[in-house]
Amino acid sequence: MRTNAFEAVARYVYPSLRRRLVEILRERGLTQIQIAELLHITQSAVSRYLRMNRGALIEVEKFQDIDEKLKGLADTIVREKPDEYYIHGELVKIAVEMLGKGYVCSFHSKVDPEIDPKLCRICIETFG
How confident is the model over 72-117, as pLDDT tens digits? 999 999 999 999 999 999 999 999 999 999 998 888 888 888 888 8
Q: Look up residue 89 and give its amino acid.
A: G
Give burial (CB, 10 Å; 0-12/13-18/19+) of 58. Answer: buried
| Overall average pLDDT of the 47-65 stretch | 90
Closest CA to 41 of 16, 11, 19: 19
Q: What is the DSSP letter of 115?
A: -
Can you say whether the dihedral through the CA atoms of 37, 40, 43, 47 is positive or negative?
A: negative
d(CA 26, CA 7): 28
Q: Burial letters for 17-50: b for 16+ Cβ neighbours within 10 Å, e otherwise?
A: bbbbbbbbbbeeebebebbbebbebeeebbebbe
User: pTM for this structure?
Assistant: 0.91
Domain boundaries, the chain: 5-127
Give per-residue pLDDT as tens, 1-18.
578 888 888 988 999 999
